[in-house]
């Protein structure tokens, strides 16, 4: 097994578990640095396989397939957090997984994640563990309305959660309890949703600019870089990111989602142990992209400080808008178009993104609105 305290040299092989767009962009960075890339994913023509050197077609929890990847790859990484911790643990004796599996276990379970953040004195929303329906009423007495009931595992893009505004919402929220233990969380009256990326190589850590995220129907719509916030807030976000990274001996990229209140308070909402949708702007707008940082981190390469080269706006391209954005290619020469190679365009499915560089973020927002694609 490769000693990851020594940099992994080009011409070695990186294995990626998961074949979506994040894996695709990881692979493109890795190839640029001279690495070979393999992917494990059940879909025959997944986005990552289109740019990788080899593809193991298998389920993410297929231990035999993971063992094959361990034989063929010098390091293994993952592009999303719903990979089986147990399956990865089974190959740890003969595989190098720089991110480890502890981080994966923490971010797969909301209660473990909150416990980890509390242990590091990170401010989070008040919450309670909900095992049975009777627990909700007890929790609401202390948390109050509005509040959010969330499954502890498997939620993303707004799935696995239900907002309660009054007692009328109690009955319909019970459907989530059928999926297992939940957590009830106080609703934070936030002014902005922010995120920050931190990258590590196990010894040193570097942060990216704090950005503002705008969601529609619980799916990221736009990211504005940098966020229009007070410098003190940005410094506090960086401080939080470094605390979390150091406590994990982080290798690779970690995304931290936060709520900013009107009074300037920051509440950490969620962690993602990988590159993140809100970091796609870094490909064009920063001195190092989040994907380059991730590959550097898992390969124990040094990590430079990150500079923002230009303010930027990133807008997601979902399935319902895909073909309309093709018409923009000929008329928006300054826009950077990224498409993920997914075979089927479904409503709400992320099919690509567009990044635009400009000092006039308000003007860009209006320009996007005027296309009549993202009404």
pLDDT at 175: 84
CA quadruple 104, 299, 296, 84: dihedral, nearest 10? -20
Do 274 and 148 share a structural domain?
no
Give the 3-state secondary structure of residue 224: strand
CATH number of the domain to which 239 belongs: 3.30.470.20
Do 85 and 141 share a structural domain?
no
Determine, yes or no, domain membership for 1: no
Query: Tokens for 350?
Result: 């992320």
Do 325 and 269 share a structural domain?
yes
Do 203 and 65 share a structural domain?
no
Domain end among 186, 205, 221: 186
Determine, yes or no, domain membership for 268: yes
Do 344 and 196 share a structural domain?
yes
* Owning domain of residue 305: 190-370
Do 202 and 171 share a structural domain?
no
How remote is the C-alpha of 63 from its chain's centroid? 25
Checking DSSP bridges between strand 147-151 and strand 54-56, what pairing results, if any? unpaired
Compute the distance between CA of residue 28 and CA of residue 38 in angstroms, rounded to an integer.
Answer: 12
Determine, yes or no, domain membership for 119: no
Give the strand order in the sheet containing 75-78: 54-56, 36-40, 13-17, 75-78
Domain end among 138, 163, 186: 186
CATH number of the domain to which 133 belongs: 3.30.1490.20
Do 147 and 60 share a structural domain?
no
Residuewise pLDDT in 10s, the chain (375 residues):
344 568 999 999 999 999 999 999 999 999 999 999 999 999 999 999 999 999 999 999 999 999 999 999 999 999 988 899 999 999 999 999 999 999 999 999 999 999 999 999 999 999 999 998 889 888 999 999 999 999 998 766 557 889 999 999 988 888 888 888 999 999 999 999 999 999 999 999 999 999 999 999 989 999 999 999 999 999 999 999 999 999 999 999 999 999 999 999 999 999 999 999 999 999 999 999 999 999 999 999 999 999 999 999 999 999 999 999 999 999 999 999 999 999 999 999 999 999 999 999 999 999 999 999 997
Query: Which of 374, 361, 252 is CA-nearest to residue 318?
Result: 374
Determine, yes or no, domain membership for 107: no
Is the C-alpha dihedral spanning 250, 253, 156, 162 positive or negative?
positive
Determine, yes or no, domain membership for 5: no
Compute the distance between CA of residue 196 and CA of residue 278 in angstroms, rounded to an integer.
Answer: 9
Do 150 and 51 share a structural domain?
no
Do 285 and 361 share a structural domain?
yes
Determine, yes or no, domain membership for 106: no
Domain count, the chain: 3
pLDDT at 1: 37
Determine, yes or no, domain membership for 238: yes
Query: Tokens for 240?
Result: 């939080």
Compute the distance between CA of residue 150 and CA of residue 154 in angstroms, rounded to an integer.
Answer: 10
Determine, yes or no, domain membership for 356: yes
pLDDT at 155: 62
CA distances from residue 330 to 158, 327, 334, 337 in whole angstroms, order as listed: 34, 6, 10, 11
Do 348 and 213 share a structural domain?
yes
Do 84 and 25 share a structural domain?
yes
């Amino acid at each position: 097994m490769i000693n990851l305290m020594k940099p992994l040299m080009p011409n070695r092989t990186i294995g990626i578990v998961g074949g979506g767009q994040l894996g695709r962009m990881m692979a493109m960075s890795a190839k640029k640095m001279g690495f070979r890339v393999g992917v494990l994913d059940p879909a025959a023509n997944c986005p990552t396989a289109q740019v990788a050197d080899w593809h193991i077609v298998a389920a993410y929890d297929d231990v035999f397939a993971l063992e094959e990847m361990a034989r063929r790859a010098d390091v293994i990484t993952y592009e999303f957090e719903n990979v089986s911790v147990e399956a990865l643990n089974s190959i740890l004796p003969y595989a190098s997984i720089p991110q480890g599996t502890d981080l994966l276990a923490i971010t797969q379970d909301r209660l473990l994640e909150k416990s980890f953040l509390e242990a590091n004195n990170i401010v989070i929303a008040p919450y309670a563990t909900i095992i049975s329906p009777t627990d909700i009423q007890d929790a609401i007495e202390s948390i109050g309305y509005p509040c959010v009931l969330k499954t502890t595992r498997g939620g993303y893009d707004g799935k696995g959660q239900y907002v309660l505004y009054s007692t009328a919402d109690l009955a319909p929220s019970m459907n989530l309890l059928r999926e297992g233990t939940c957590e009830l969380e106080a609703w934070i009256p936030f002014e902005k949703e922010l995120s920050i990326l931190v990258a590590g190589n196990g010894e040193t850590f570097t942060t990216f600019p704090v950005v503002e995220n705008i969601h529609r129907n619980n799916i990221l719509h736009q990211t504005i870089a940098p966020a229009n916030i007070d410098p003190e807030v940005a410094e506090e976000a960086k401080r939080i990111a470094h605390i979390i990274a150091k406590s994990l001996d982080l290798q690779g990229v970690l995304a931290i989602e936060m709520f900013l209140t009107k009074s300037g308070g920051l509440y950490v909402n969620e962690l993602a142990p990988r590159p993140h949708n809100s970091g796609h702007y870094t490909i064009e707008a920063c001195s190092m992209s989040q994907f380059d940082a991730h590959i550097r981190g898992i390969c124990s390469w040094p990590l430079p400080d990150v500079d923002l080269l230009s303010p930027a706006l990133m807008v997601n391209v979902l399935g319902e808008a895909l073909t309309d954005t093709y018409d923009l290619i000929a008329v928006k020469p300054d826009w950077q178009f990224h498409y993920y190679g997914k075979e089927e365009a479904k409503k709400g499915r992320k099919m690509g993104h567009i990044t635009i560089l400009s000092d006039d973020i308000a003007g860009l927002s209006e320009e996007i609105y005027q296309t009549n694609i993202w009404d």
